[in-house]
Amino acid sequence: MHKPIQIKNLSLSFPHKLCFENFSTQVYSGSRIAIIGANGSGKSTLLNRLNGISNAVSGEVMLPSEVVLGYVPQLISDHPHLSGAERFQKSLTQALQSGPNVLLLDEPTNHLDRTHRKNFLGLLEKYTGTLILVSHDTMLLRHSVDILWHIDNGTVHIFSGNYEDYKNEIISKRRAIEASLLQLHRQKKEMHQTLMREQVRAAKSRAKGEKSIRERKWPLGGKATALRAEETSGRKKVVIQDKKQALIEQLADLRLPDIIQPKFSLSSAELGDKVLVSISEGGVTYCVEKTVLKNIYLTIRSHSRLAILGDNGSGKSTLVKAILNEPIVIKTGDWLAPNRKDIGYLDQQYAILCPNKTVFETIADEMPEWREAEIRKHLNDFLFRKNEEVEIAVSQLSGGERVRLSLARIAVLNPKLLILDEVTNNLDLETKAHVVTVLKAYPGALIVISHDEDFLEAIDIRESYCLG
Which fold is adopted by the domain 268-466?
A: Rossmann fold (3.40.50)
Same-fold call for 5-161 versus 268-466: yes
H/E stretch holding 326 reads: none
- What is the mean predicted confidence (pLDDT) over 383-401? 87
15: left (phi over 0), alpha (psi -120 to 50) or beta: alpha
Closest CA to 378 of 352, 414, 350: 414
pLDDT score of 261: 75
Q: Which residues contact 386 (CB under 8 A, 6 or more apart)?
A: none
Whether residue 360 has pLDDT greater than 90: yes
Overall pTM > 0.85? no
Q: Measure CA 43 to chain center.
A: 15
Give the integer Cα–Cα distance in Å for 1 and 4: 9
Secondary structure percentages of the chain, helix, strand, coil, to 5:
40, 25, 35
Number of other residues whose CB lies within 10 A of the CB of residue 377: 12
pLDDT score of 212: 59
> Between the CA atoms of 361, 402, 415 and 302, what dihedral angle is there, to the nearest 10 degrees?
-170
- Highest-confidence segment of 17-26, 71-80, 262-271, 434-443: 17-26
Structure confidence by residue, pLDDT tens digits, 185-212: 676 666 666 667 766 666 666 666 555 5
Average confidence score pLDDT of the chain: 84
Candidates 3.30.43.10, 3.30.360.10, 3.40.190.10, 3.40.50.300; CATH matching 5-161:
3.40.50.300
Concatenate the DSSP letters of all residues of 1-27 into one string. Answer: --PPEEEEEEEEEETTEEEEEEEEEEE
More confident residue, 26 or 177: 26
Whether residue 3 has pLDDT greater than 90: yes
What share of the chain in percent tops pLDDT 90? 47
Domain boundaries, the chain: 5-161, 169-254, 268-466
Q: At what angle do helices 399-413 and 372-381 cross, to 10 degrees?
A: 120
Structure confidence by residue, pLDDT tens digits, 273-320: 899 999 999 999 987 667 789 999 999 999 999 999 988 888 898 999
Concatenate the DSSP letters of all residues of 186-254 into one string. Answer: HHHHHHHHHHHHHHHHHHHHHHHHHHHHHTT-----HHHHHHHHHHHHHHHHHHHHHHHHHHHHHHHHH
What's the half-sphere exposure (Cβ side, CA atoms, 13 Å) at 14? 7
pLDDT score of 358: 95
